[in-house]
Structure 1
Amino acid sequence: MKAYIQDTVRNEEARLNALRDLNLLDTSPSDSFDRLTRLASKLLDAPVSTISLTDRDRQWFKSKVGVDITEIPREQAPCSYAIGDNGIFVVPDLQADPRFVGSPLAQAGIRFYAGAPLFTRQGYGLGTLCVVDEKVRDLDEEGRQVLRDLAGMVMSQIELSNTIGRSDAVTGLPNQHQMFEDIEDLARLHPGDTATALMFELVSQQQSGQGQRVLGSNFTEALVRGGASRLRRNLGNSSRLYHVGPTRLAVLVTPEFGGDIEVLISSLADLLGDPVECDGIPVTPTPAVGSCLFQLGELSPRDVLRRMLNAVEDAMLSDDGRADYSPAHDLRHARSFMLLNEFKAALETPGQLRLDYQPRIDLADGACRGVEALLRWTHPQFGPIPPFDFIPGVEQTALAKPLTEWVARTALAQMAAWRTQGIDLKVSINVSALNLDEPDFAERILDLVRVGGADARMLELEFTESAVARNGTRVVHQLEALRDAEITIAIDDFGSGYSNLSYLQKLPASVLKVDRAFVGELETSERDRTLVRSVIEMAHQLGYRVVAEGIETQETYDLVRSWGCDEGQGYLMARPMTAAKLGEWLLSSAQLPEVA
C-alpha cells in the first residue's frame, strides 16, 4: 500500500511537471483554442464547453464558451475523474451522482457532463475538453466520437504551440531545447540505460567563413539541409536528429538501438563527406564527429550537450575527424574556463602577476643586449599557473587589452628601475593579435612610454606572424606609428603560422625570431638545418636582425652562430628569471652592457 501511494505521488508530480512545461496555465486566451470549444458546443448542442487543465488544486480553463469563470476547485470536479480514464467520461446527472452531488457545478445547476481526456504523447493527462448542460442527458456513440476527435485536435494545437521555439527555421529539425526535453523523457522511460549522443560539425571554421563570403547564408543553409537530409534517411526509429548550431547536427541514439554504434558513426560520417550542391557549386564538407556515451538520468541534458561539444572540438583537431568524449580533456577545458574567469581579478590584485625576463645574447660577442619579458601568474589557491594554461585563452578575449597594458606598464617601470642601477637593456614584450584590431593601440602604447619616462628605442614589441599578416592595411598603419616613434617591431615564432614570405617586404619590422620548433631539431634534422639557414640568409637580405629561439645545446648555438644569426635565446645561455636575479646574473656573467 505504501509503495502504491509513493508511485501515485511520483506520477502526479511528473504529470504536473509535464503540464507546466507546456506553459499553458494562466496564459491569455487564444483564438486557436477558442475555435475548438465553440465547435464542440455547436456540434454537441451544449451551452457550455471548456478546455480544462487539471492543476494541483484547481481546474483552470484555457478556453471556454458559455461561462464567465476561469477556474474552479479541483476537488469533486468531474475533469479530475476524466483524466484517469482513457475513454470519454460521461455523467448524465451530476445531482444524482454521489461523487458530484455537492460539487460546485452541481450546486450551480449543471446536470450533464461529458469530457474527453487530453493526454500527452508520454501519457500524462493534462485535463479535458468537456461539454456541460443544465439538462439531464446522455451522449451517444457518435457524440462520443465527435468529442474524442475534437480532443485530438486540441492536443495537436497544444503540440503545435509547444513546437514554436523548439524547431529550427532552416531545416525544420528539432533544436537543442527539444533535445533537452527528449533526453529527460528517455531518462523517465529508461532510467539507468545507456544512450549515445553524437555531434557532427559539417565544415571547418575556415571553410565555413570562405563559403559564406562567396555564397552568403545560402552556403550554410544548403550545407545543413543536405547533411540533415542524408542523416534523416539513414537513421532508424531508435535515433533522433537535431540542429544545434550553425553547421552542427546532433543525433541521439536511444537505448532501443541494437546495432554497432561504431559502424553507425562511420557510416554517417562517410555520408556527410560526399559533396553537397550549394547554388550549383559542389562543396565537399569536412565533417568531424564527436561522441559520448552516458547513463540516462545520471547527467542533465545540458551536461550531455557540453560533453558532445567537447568531443566534437577534439574531433576537429584530430587526424581522422573522430573523437570520443574525454573526461581528461573536459577537466582541462573546465580548468581553463575557470582560470579565464579569475584572470580579471589577477590583473586587479597586486602580487598575483609578475614578469620574468629571459636574456637575449648577441652571438657575435656573447653580450646580453636585451631580454624578453614573460608573464607569470601565481594563483592564490592553485599556485604557479603555466603560461600555456591561460595566456592563449586570455588573448582571445577582451582581456587581451588590459593584459597587454599591464605587461607594457610593468616592463616600462622595470626598465626605468634598471636604468637607475646603470643597466640599460632593451625589453621585448609579447602582444596579442587582438591588440592590432584596436584602432588606438599604437597611441596607447606611446602614451604608456611617455608616462613611464622610458626611452622608446629600448622597447620592442613581438607579434606572431599570423597576427601581423591577417589584416595588412590596418596592421601596417599601427606598426608604422610605433616604428616612427623608434619602438622596435619583431615578428615572433616565424615559420609556425602564416608562412607567406611576401608580407615580410611590407611590414615596418626589423627583427625576426625563428620559431623554437625548428631550432630545437637542428642537430637531427637536415630539413630544419636547411630551412633555418635559408631563413637567416633571406631575412638579412630583407634587412632583418635574426633571433634564434630555443637554443638548448652547444651544437645548436654553434650552428646558428656559424650561419650568421644575430642573437640567440634559450636555456643554454639563461632561463627566465626575476628582475632581481637578472641583475645578479648580468654582474656575475660580466655581460653588463654599457649605458649609452
Structure 2
Amino acid sequence: MAMKIRIRSAFLLAFVAIGLLPVAIFTWMTYERTAAHELTEVNGRNLLLAQNVADSLTLYQKNIRTAVDVAVTSLQQNVETQYIHRLLANLKIEDVSIVSPDYGKVLYSTDTKRIDNLEFIDPNLLEHIKATPVSSRLQFLPVQKSITGTPTIHAIGREGENFIVACLSTDYFINLAEKVSFGASGHTVIVDQDGNILAHPTKVWADDAKNISDISAVKRLMNGETGNENYYSPATKSEMISGIASVSGTYWGVIVPQELSQVKAKIIENLTPLFVGLVGSIIAAVLLLYFSIRWLAKPLENLAITLKKQSSTGLPMAVPPSQAETSIYELTHIVDAYNELTATVQQNSEQLAKQIFEDALTGIGNRAYFESESRKQIETRLKLGKKGILIFFDLDGFKEINDIRGHGIGDEVLKSFAKSLYPTTKKFMDINFRGLPSAHPVIGRIGGDEFAILLPLPENTDAISGLCENLRRSFPKLIEIGGVEISCDQSAGGALYPDHGTNIEDLLRRSDVALYKAKAEGKNRFQLYDTQGVLGGKSEILAAVLNAIDNDELYLEYQPKYCITKQQVDSAEALVRWQHPEHGPIQPNLFLPAVQQTHVMKLLGEWVIGRALKDIKYFDEQGLNLNIAINIGAEHFSADSFIPNLVEQTSVAKVDPNRLQIEITENVMDASRDVFSKTVSELQAKGFSLAIDDFGRGFSNLTRLASVPVDLIKLDGSLIRSAINDPRVKVIMQSAIEMAHSLGSKVAVEGVETFEQVILAEKSGADVLQGFYYSRSMTPQNFNTWHKKRSENSQHAQVEKIRNSL
C-alpha cells in the first residue's frame, strides 16, 4: 500500500516558513491607520464647510427679518422707494404683504398688482398660518410650490391684528450651495425644517422641493443637531460622508457630503507605493511556495477541475475515483464523502422540487409552479409576437359541498377535478389548435377551489369567448365519490396577453375580475375580461368611491373569527364591499389600492366605523353578541381627529368600546414611534383593542412590537400554508406565536383553509383562527343564518370532537 501523508502538515510547514500572515497583518494595520487619519480630516473639513454655510444662512435670515420690518413700515406709511425694492430683490424676497386674518385679503403689498386686483392669499396658506402660533417675530414655514410651480418659502409674522406674509424664492439657497462644491462629488445640500430640499445639485429635486427626511443626516438636522454623519444617498446611489450644521433660529439645515468611495480611493492612492512593495514581496514568496507545494496541490487541482465540470449540470454527480487518484490521505476521503453527499443532495433536490411546485392535495402544479411556467411561456411567445389567454376557474357551490358533505368529500372532489384538467385540456387543444407549435397548456391549482390554465392561441383566432366556453363545458359536470354523484359546475374568467397585460400577476388579477363577474351573472359560465367594465384610472376610482359613499353603494361583509379558548365564533372582521350600479360587484383589490394614502381613505374608514356600529346593534338584536374588528388605513389612524371621532361615534351608537378592535398593518408603525405609541395607549385607555394585521408578509419585526403593547397579532395566511409542508416555516410560525405571547399579545392565524391547518395552528399555540375553513365573508343577515345553522351542523360537531381528542 502506498504511503499517505496528511496534507494539513505539509501546507502548515510551507505557510509558516514563508510568513504570509505577518505581511497581511502589517498591510491591514497600515491601511486602517491611514484610513482613520484621512476620514478624520475629511469629517473636519466637511463640518467646517457646513458650519460656514449655516453661518451665512443665519445672517441671511436676520437680514430677511430686517428687510421685512423695513418693508412693512414702508407699506404702513405708504412710502415706496426703489431702495426697498432693490433690498428685497437682493435678498430674493418676491413680495411682502400685510394680510387680513379673516379671509386672507391682501391689504398692503410691495407687489401693487395684488392690491389693484383685490387679491386674496391662497386659502390653504391662510389655514396653515392660522394653525401656526404667530408672533411679531418672523417665522419661516416649510417650502411649498407656488401657483407658478416654483418652490417658495413663506415667512409669517403678526402686525397688530393682521398677518405679515413674505414670499421668498429659493434662489439664494441655490446660489449659496453652488459656491461650496469640491472634488468630483463634494457638494452642498440645504433643507428646511421638514426635510424638504431648498438647494441640491440634482436640479429636479430642488425644483420639486423633494422631501428627504428619511435620510439619517436630515433627521439629525430636524432635531437641531450639528456634527458628522455617514448615510446612503438616493441621488448618487452611494454611501456619503458628510458634515451637517443646523441654522440657528430657522431649523434649516446644511449638509456638505462627498462620496465615501472617493475618500477610500484617495486612501488607496496614498498607499499604492507601499502596496507595490508588498505585492513584490508576496510574488517572490508565492514563487517559493509554488515549488514547495506543487507536488501536493496538483491532485487537488485535478479534483477541483473535475467537480467544476460537473457543476454545470446544475446538480452534483459522483466523481469516479480514477479522476482523483492521489496519495494524499485526506483527498481520498474527500472524494468518498463527496460521492455520498451527492447521492443525498440529488434525492433531497427531487423531493424539494416536488414540494415547491406540486400541490400537496391534488398532485398537480401549485401556484408557484403555475406562475413560474407561465412567465416562461408568456415571455417566449411575446418575443415571437404570439398571444394567449389565462383562464381562471372556480368550482360553483364548493362551499356547500364542504359544509354539507364534509371537507373529506370536498378534497376528493378537488382531486378528481384536478386529475381531469390536463387530459381534457390537451384533447381540446388537439382538436381546436391542431398544428400549433409548442402548444402545451400550463395548469395549476391557485388555492382552495380555484384553478388556472394558460393557453397559447393560434393566429387569427376568432370567437375566443366561445372557444373558452367550449373548453369549460368539456370538464366533468358530475364527479362520483363513494358511489355518490356530486355536481361540479364551474365558472371561469379569462384575460388575454398581450391585450390585457403581459405579466402573470396582471393576468391573474384581471381573469379573477372576469370570474367574479361570471359568478355575479349566474355562475356556470365563462366571462372574458372587459376593459370597458372597469373603473378607469386612480382619479376616476377616487371619484367613484366618494360617490359610492354618498349614494350608499357600499356595504360590509363579515368573516367569522373562531376563538380556540371558548371553542366558538365570538367575533368577526368587517370587510368593505361595493355594489356598483353599472359594473355590478367591484372587488376590493380593484379600488382599495387606489384609495390608500389619499384623503378618501379617511372618509372610507369613517363610513366603515359607522356602518359596523349599526351592524353590531343588529347582531345584538339577533342574540349573537359579536365583537367586530375593523381595518383602518395609515392615514386615518395617524390623523389627529381619529380617536375623538371614534369615541364620539361609539358614544352616539351606545356601543361599548371593547366591542371594537382596530386592525392596522405593520407599516403604520413606520411613522414616529412616539406618535404611534401615544395613539395606541390612548386607544386602549378608551377601551378599544388593537390588532396588527398581515404580520409575517414580507419583512416583519417582532422586536419592534416590544415597545407597543398590541392586543392581537394576526399572522398572514402564507405562514400556515407554507408551514404544512416546510418544517422551517413551521418553526418560524411557532416561534412567532411564542414571542407574541411573551409580549402579552394574543395571536390569530389567518388563511386557515383545511382541517390539517386548523390542528397545526392550535398545536402551535394560536388563540384565534380565521379563514375559508370556517366561512368566507358574509352580509350580516347571511352571517346570522350561518351562525345558527353551524351550531346544528353534525359535521361541525364531529370536527370539534376530533379536535378535542387531539
Structure-1-length-normalised TM-score: 0.46
Relative contact order, higher structure (CA 8 A, sep 6+): 1
Question: Of Structure 1 and Structure 2, which has the larger fraction of its residues in helix?
Answer: 2
